[in-house]
Structure formats: structure tokens, C-alpha cells
Amino acid sequence: MVSYYNWTGFYAGVNAGYGWGSSTWSAPAVSMKPKGFLAGGTVGYNWQSGAIVYGIEGDFDWSDVKASAACAGVLTCETSSPWLATFRGRVGYAFDRWLPYITGGGAYGRVKATLSAAGVDLASAASSQLGWTIGGGLEYAFMGNWSAKLEYLYVDLGSTGDTLDIVSPLFGIPTLPRSFAISTATHLRDHIVRDSEEVVRT
């Protein structure tokens, strides 16, 4: 009788990867391409029926994904995402120790919009956004209960609307107002490729 690897059980691990995508501001109208590294932890549970493996998975990553662009004359607009979490289901087909899978679910992340001039931050607004994610990957089990996987995720954190109130001595001269407000809507979408190392506890 042939013995196959058993994927059933809880697991936990670490992950690291790279993200790139797009961000659009509606006012001032500007687009940019945020990118940067991510790293964090993963937990989940698999249960196996024949060759089909079902699972639930959650992760939290610290993120350096950000980009900036010139906007509104002398101002610079920046979009950044300091952290990102996902909570997903996944389904895979086991070829013994190889497990290709698809995955999808919710995403929750912080999106920050910042206005600056000459390297000085004038105003910023941040929002924790609920969005969605979908992707797939390939996992390989080795050394007993250890596994490694390469994964791709598309993440859409939707739009956040903010009013940035700028008050600065830069605008204190008689011909300029002391303060003014910019209303903006920021939309962030990311592509993420990452590698994970995990230990399975059956």
C-alpha cells in the first residue's frame, strides 16, 4: 500500500515577500505605483479528504509598500501601507508532498495618505480598510512536518476618503491663506509574491 503525506493539522510559520501595485487620488488627480517589502507571520489549519486539501489561513505582515508623486503644484502626495492582514480559505490538490492550491477571502490593511512640501509633512490621514484578496500558490512538505510555499495574492483595499487640513507657516504670507483643505479619495491595489516557511502540528 502506498503511503501519502498527511496535510491535516494546525500550522504556524513566517513569511516574507514583495508587493507592487497602483494607487490613485481623485483630488488632486494623481496616480502612483507603490512597492516595497513585507514580512510577518501565518497561522492556519488544513483538513484532507482523499487528495483534496481544504484549509483556512490568516496572516499579518508589516509592510514598506509606498510611493509618492508630485501633485497640486509644489506639493507631494504619498500613499503608504504600513501593515496588511488577510484571512482566507484555500483548496488544493495533494500530489503526495506537493500541494498546488487556490485561495481567497478578506484583506484588512492600513492605508495612509500624506501631503508634503520640500520634505516637510504638512498633513496626513490614515484609515484601516477592509477589502478582498485572491490568489494561489504551491506548497512542498519536507523534513517531517516542515513545509515551504511560494504564493501570489492580489489585494484590493478599496477607496478611503479624507479631508487633509493644511496649516503651515509656509502659507502665512499675505497673499496666501494660513490654511486650506484638500478632499481626496485614495484607492490602493497590490500584487504580492511571498515565500513562507511553516511547521505543521498534526
Contact status, residue 79 vs residue 71, Cβ threshold 8 Å: no
Check whether 1 has a pLDDT greater than 80: no
The mean predicted confidence, pLDDT, of the chain is 84
Of residues 171 and 55, more confidently modeled: 55
The pTM score is: 0.84
User: Which residues sit opposite 113 in a β-bridge?
Assistant: 79, 125
Placement of cell 490593511 in the chain? 109
Q: What is the pLDDT of residues 119-154, one digit of tens each?
A: 888 777 788 889 999 999 999 998 778 899 999 999
pLDDT of residue 171: 46
CA gap 57, 62 in Å, rounded? 17
pLDDT of residue 103: 97
Phi then psi dihedrals of residue 169, to 5 deg? -60, -20
Q: Which CATH number fits domain 9-201: 2.40.160.20, 3.40.50.2000, 3.40.50.720, 1.10.10.200?
A: 2.40.160.20
SS3 169: helix
What is the torsion angle, in degrees rounded to the nearest 10, for the CA atoms of residue 193, residue 70, residue 119 and residue 171?
-140
Q: What is the pLDDT of residues 46-74, one digit of tens each?
A: 999 999 999 999 999 999 999 999 887 78
CA gap 192, 45 in Å, rounded? 22
Q: Cα 103 from chain centroid?
A: 15
The grid cell for 171 is 502659507
How large is the average pLDDT for residues 36-40? 94
